Amino acid sequence: MHEQTIAEMSRALAAGEVSSVELTRGLLARIERPELAGNSFITVTAEQALAEAEAADRARAAGQAGPLTGVPIAHKDIFCTNDVRTSCGSHMLDRFVAPYDATVVERLRAAGCVMLGKTNMDEFAMGSSNETSWYGPVENPWDRSRVPGGSSGGSAAAVAARLAPGATGTDTGGSIRQPAALCGITGLKPTYGRVSRYGMVAFASSLDQGGPMARTAEDCALLLDGMAGFDPRDSTSIERDVDDCAGALDSYPLAGMRVGRPAEYFGDGMAAEVREAVDAATQQLAELGAEIVDISLPHTELSIPAYYVVAPAEASSNLSRYDGVRFGHRCAEPSDVLDLYERSRAEGFGDEVKRRIMVGTYALSAGYYDAYYLKAQQIRQLISDDFRKAFSDVDLILGPTSPTTAFPLGERADDPVAMYLSDVYTIAANLAGLPALSMPAGFADGLPVGVQLIGDHFSEGRLLAAAHGYQQATDWHRQAPPGID
Amino acid sequence: MQWETVIGLEVHAQLATNSKIFSGASTAFGSEPNTQACPIDLGMPGVLPVLNQGAVEMAVRFGLAIDADIAGQSVFARKNYFYPDLPKGYQISQYELPVIGQGQLVIELDDGATKTVGITRAHLEEDAGKSLHEDFHGMTGVDLNRAGTPLLEIVSEPDMRSPREAVAYAKKLRTVVRYLGICDGNMQEGSLRVDVNVSVRPAGQAAFGTRAEIKNVNSFRFLEKAIEFEVERQREIIEDGGTVEQETRLYDPDRGETRSMRTKEEANDYRYFPDPDLLPLEVDTSFIERVRAGLPELPDDKKARFVSDYGLPAYDAGVLTAARELADYYEAVVTAAGGEAKLAANWVMSELGGVLNERGLDITESPVAAEDLGGLIRRIEDQTISGKIAKEVFAAMVAGEGSADAIIEARGLKQITDTSAIEAMIDEVLANNPGQVEQYRNGKTKVLGWFVGQVMKASRGKANPDQVNQLLRDRLDG
Amino acid sequence: MSLSTDEVRKIARLARLAVDEEEVTTYARELSSILDLVDRMNAVDTAGVTPMAHPQHATQRLRPDAVTEPDDRDRYQRNAPAVERGLYLVPRVVE
């Protein structure tokens, strides 16, 4: 049962073969097993999940069921959930209970999804390995000594370990796609503004975007249809009708699709076994009728330095609200207001968060703004222009998601720059606000390899259809990690 | 040495919207602490700002009133600093691209001359909360009801040259924002907050001196006093061979002086950058024209109309148009009085003005309705009562005894205009005072006034004074 | 780009993060290496390029001026570390 995808569960629920309560009970039982969960959940909401499942079953009996009614999912612990702790992976918010739901949570609940719990993540979504979480690292189900990727590592690991058929994630510089790749699942970062950011704890406001993580493109489409759309509470939400992505999976055939292969994404940085898998996937797409076109995104290399100015700069400001006054960690017996701020923040934030706050503060400070922040915004423009040119010629861009497969826990924890460099293929889509997904495309030494597809603005339908087409012809996405029953 | 004072003002006007600039919480004044602070005002995790259209309309209203450039695109920026009453750790403001650009305001000086003061810019921003320093076991309490209230920060050019000019500018600005209905102008409650930049320089020197910024000036009187003190302070420093420091100073109304706000903190570094949660604000022509169509008549236009249409002296017109409510009241009195504009002006300014002043009331709290005051003036005009009796009637109206007609009727104050009745009173007075009649007839015509007084007294003030005068002359001269 | 320990202290103060002497040294090293990474931006001449503040070319949407948020103070203050009589408490602020 837990092997089923969302689409399959949806059909089983509709056919009356299973109830939401049964599904929910079964998955909660798996989440309770530490050897399966591998610390992928921060909070499990069993009681509430069962109540929601019962309600979903009643709705279905009353003839009021949609495709997601009764489907259990998990939320990344960055999405605020009314009356349930939202920690954002941080000691700072260990006891924070939001008095509101994030729009994403609200919409998926309205669509009938059952929330199993809140998944582990890098603290404030800052990290690429899930090792910066205050709640400890998450194990990769494919090899428990390795990282699941980050920052949505808990969501990716939970889906890969069949603890939930789908989960929400957020992606600021690759935080959905990279863990999806490292855990062998499918994850989509939508066009900036597609999915409301309301109630999603902010990391870097102009880059953050929530999205679906599941085993298949079809499931991602179902979840995206449930969470996307205009939200008047988010000024950056796009006022535009949402496509029916699930219904459009067959509308964009791979035959004749022009797929760009940027030279810059196939350089020296990529591990040989990753290159092999990506090349094989490219070959497969060609066999399915796609036309592979060599293109260039000349400013790719600059995306990392630009990102590591823009993201920390926005973060340094976004995280100023954690001051120990209205919510969040407060130090013991502050002597004055300065002491209250400095110690509450120093105690409440972990090392990576503090590093980024420091970098961002520096980049925005008097005398450095032009050299760092403004310069980074200019480079952002150049990167965006690269894509605009590319998309005048191709429908999609293909490349690796991550330069390596899952790396051992602890390997890069003491070298922030090495960690940052691993985001090289995912960051540009965030800077340009483009939709991009990662899908399983093979294995190297028993570890999953992901392929990334980047689309033009608002082309989620085409992206998911292309991935769906690929998944119809391959079975990488159907492989399960060993030892998960 | 001759010194010249240079003054510029930064005025924060709290905009009179129903809800906050970026949230749907109420802006009402005086509620229980933190009952009007929603998650957005509290800066809770994940919440986002959405701009209030009302605040933008009010900013544009102001822009149109000062004949300013209105930016087609303006940008909200974050001003980053930590303070307990600043929930997010940054204030959303406008920095490089404000919504309102260069404009001007015409002020009237004491000698009746006018002067144009430049306005550099006006921008939208959010207010902070309040720290309450009363005792909470040695702690400070933070109330965030005010956090997120829309402010329009109006920055003038350094165009003013005396404390009086600065006061005239501040008063005019207050009049304009109140006319526009965008701010209640209450300085005590902090709806209108004035910061003043002051510097001095030798007369004739082109370069500005180093300025000090004075905060906490919450009345026009304090504004004048604060500037006077500051000018004196700076002059003494320079004359003693010292240099003025650029700094922020606080006005202490109890001691009538300014003092440095300098702390041990390093210089502020606000790290402004465009707020990524908000997109550029676009104000297009149709938006501007829609706002323009709803603009009220502005004080300068109204004053000019009062002079031309009502034939009022410029001074009277200025007094009566100082507040929109007063001007409205006055015009209602004129209508009710059947057009007696000058008489109405006198009554509103002196009689009613005196009562309001004495009782500390605003025109909107007048104990006498405009229609009733107009009714009284109509009775003076149609000679039902004399001007003197009218004052008695007015006092009764203020005391709540009813309309002028009702009081005149109840007290039997109707003026006596019947010639034969007046003649009978005159005859009696003349008969009782043969000596004075003799004096008059011997050429001492001054006693006529005395006779008028006697007759008026006999009529208990009700005889028509003009008629009494005329009939007395006829009798004495005849 | 190499940051001095004094600069690190200054940034930490601006960011309101308490740092001890050992951390200052660590930060100086780490931040310097991050800034080296960031300095790679200088490889490209961006003169005349319009800075891109946002991935969207839309303009700000306006909300009607209506009160839509009810008072829910008690619920909001459940997260607060120190509250009295409806006020958030902080160590005494001297003005």
pLDDT of residue B461: 82
pLDDT at C95: 56
Architecture of domain C5-42: Orthogonal Bundle (1.10)
Element (H, E) at A118: strand A114-119
Query: Where do the structural domains in chain B lie, given as residue ranges?
Result: 3-290, 297-411, 419-477
For the residues A342-366, what does the mean pLDDT come to?
A: 97
- Residue C74 sits at the chain B interface (C-beta within 8 Å): no
Res. B266 pLDDT band, cuts 50 70 90: low
Q: Determine if residue C86 is left, alpha or beta; phi over 0 gives left, psi from -120 to 50 gives alpha, anything else beta.
A: left
Tokens of B224: 């004048």
- Are B70 and B60 within 8 A, CB to CB? yes
C-alpha span between A406 and A31 (Å, rounded) = 22
Residue B265 has pLDDT above 70, yes or no: no
Q: Report yes or no: A341 at the B interface, CB cutoff 8 Å.
A: yes
What is the total residue count of chain A?
A: 485
Q: Phi, psi at residue A455, to the nearest 5°?
A: -120, 170
For position B415, what pLDDT does the model report? 79
Q: Which residues pair with B259 in a beta bridge?
A: B250
Closest Cβ–Cβ partner in A207, A302, A330 for C40? A302
For residues B198 and B214, the answer to whether their CB atoms sit within 8 Å is yes
Q: What is the mean pLDDT of residues A18-28?
A: 98
> Which pLDDT tens digit goes with each residue over B317-376?
999 999 999 999 999 999 999 888 999 999 999 999 999 999 999 999 999 999 999 999
C-alpha distances in Å from residue B288, one per residue of B68, B292, B440, C37: 12, 6, 74, 47
Structure token digits, residue A464: 């998911």
Q: C63 and chain A: CB distance < 8 Å anywhere?
A: yes
Q: C69 at the B interface (CB within 8 A)?
A: yes
Kindly tell me if the per-residue pLDDT of B463 is higher than 90: no
C13/B contact by beta carbon, under 8 A = yes
Is pLDDT of C22 > 60?
A: yes
Instruction: Identify which of A86, A197, A321 has the shortest CB distance to residue B87.
Output: A321
In angstroms, rounded to a whole number, what is the distance separating the alpha carbons of residues B308 and B300? 13
Q: How many Cα atoms are found within 13 Å in the side-chain-facing hemisphere of B381?
A: 17
Q: Please tell me the number of Cα atoms within 13 Å of C1 on its side-chain side.
A: 21
Mean pLDDT of B424-446: 88
Best CA proximity match to A179, nearest among A222, A136, A141:
A141
Q: Give the DSSP H or E segment for A282.
A: helix A272-287
**In terms of CATH architecture, what is B419-477?**
Orthogonal Bundle (1.10)
* Model confidence at A379: pLDDT above 70: yes
CA-CA distance, B419 to B413, in Å (whole number)?
17
**Most confident region among A98-107, B236-245, B331-340, B453-462 by mean pLDDT:** A98-107
pLDDT 10s digits, B114-142? 999 999 999 999 999 999 887 778 899 99
Which of A189, A301, A326 should we substitute to test contact with C (largest number of C Cβ atoms within 10 Å)? A326
Strand partners, A75: A118
Contact A11, A68 (CB under 8 A): no
Structure tokens at B41: 């005002």
Please answer whether residues A350 and A90 qualify as being in contact, where contact means their C-beta atoms are separated by less than 8 angstroms.
yes
Tokens of B90: 């940054």
From chain B, the residues in CB contact with C10 under 8 A are 266
Q: Mutating which of C69, C74, C78 best tests the B interface, going by the most B Cβ atoms within 10 A?
A: C69
A366 touches chain B (CB under 8 A): yes
DSSP label at A373?
A: I
DSSP secondary structure, A215-275, as one string: SSHHHHHHHHHHH-S--TT-TTS--SPPP-TGGGTTTS-STT-EEEEEGGGGSTTS-HHHH
Is the pLDDT reported for residue B264 higher than 50? no
Q: What is the pLDDT of residue A31?
A: 98
Is the pLDDT at A296 greater than 80? The verdict is yes
The whole-angstrom distance between residue B474's C-alpha and the CA centroid of its chain comes to 53
- Yes or no: say if B152 and B59 are a contact pair by the CB < 8 Å rule: yes
Pairwise CA distance, residues A324 & A344, whole Å: 6
Tell me how far CA of residue A75 lies from CA of A25, A43, A100, in angstroms: 17, 10, 15
CB contact at 8 A, A420 and A311: no
Which residue does chain B place closest to C77, by CA atoms? B34
Kindly report the nearest CA distance between residue C71 and chain B, in angstroms: 5
Choose among A98, A102, A200: nearest CA to B39: A98
Contact B82, A345 (CB under 8 A): no
Complete edge-to-edge strand list for the sheet that includes strand B139-143: B130-136, B139-143, C87-91, C83-84
Q: Judge whether residue A350 has pLDDT over 50.
A: yes
**Which percentage of chain B shows pLDDT scores above 90?**
76
pLDDT at B267 exceeding the cut of 80: no
The answer to whether A369 contacts B271, with C-beta atoms less than 8 Å apart, is: yes
Q: Which domains does chain A have, with CATH numbers?
A: 6-253+455-478 (3.90.1300.10)
Hey, which residues 369-388 in chain A have their CB within 8 Å of chain C? 372, 374-382, 384
- Separation of alpha carbons A110 and A154, rounded Å: 24
Q: Is residue C89 scored above 60 in pLDDT?
A: yes
- The number of beta carbons lying within 10 Å of the beta carbon of residue A370 is 9
Q: C82 to chain A: which residues are within 8 Å by CB?
A: 330
- Token pair recorded at residue B109: 């000086």
Q: How far is CA A74 from CA A50, A135, A156, A373, A438, in A?
A: 13, 17, 10, 36, 19
User: Which of A108, A138, A126, A139 minimizes the C-alpha distance to A214?
Assistant: A108
With contact defined as beta carbons under 8 Å apart, do A74 and A44 qualify? no
d(CA B349, CA B367): 15
In chain B, residues with a C-beta closer than 8 Å to the C-beta of A325 are 84, 87, 142
**Shortest CA gap A346–chain C (Å):** 5
Tell whether C52 lies on the interface with A, counting CB pairs under 8 A: yes
> Closest Cα partner for B320 from B309, B335, B306, B333?
B306
Rounded Cα distance between A80 and A168, Å, is: 12
- Rounded Cα–Cα distance for residues A271 and A267 (Å): 10
Task: State pLDDT tens for residues A200-256.
Answer: 999 999 999 999 999 999 999 999 999 999 999 999 999 887 779 999 999 999 999
pLDDT at A250: 94
User: Minimum mean pLDDT among A68-77, B152-161, B420-429: which range?
Assistant: B420-429
Pinpoint the alpha helices (H) of A294-350: 303-318, 337-348
Averaged pLDDT for residues B446-459: 88
Query: What average pLDDT does the structure give for chain B?
Result: 93
A361 touching B (Cβ < 8 Å)? yes
Ranges of H-type helices in B240-385: 285-293, 299-310, 314-320, 324-336, 341-346, 353-359, 370-381
Q: For residue A158, with 0-12 CB atoms within 10 Å meaning exposed, 13-18 middle and 19 or more buried, which class applies?
A: buried
Q: Say which residue the tokens 């990102």 belong to.
A: A307
Q: Is the distance from CB of C95 to CB of A341 less than 8 angstroms?
A: no
Write down the pLDDT at residue B263: 57
Is the per-residue pLDDT at A458 higher than 70? yes
Task: Please tell me the distance from the alpha carbon of residue A290 to that of residue A365, in angstroms, as a whole number.
Answer: 48
CA-nearest residue to A238 within chain B is B279
Residue listed under structure tokens 């450039």 = B69
* In A62-144, alpha helices (H): 103-110
Residues of A designated catalytic: 76, 151, 175
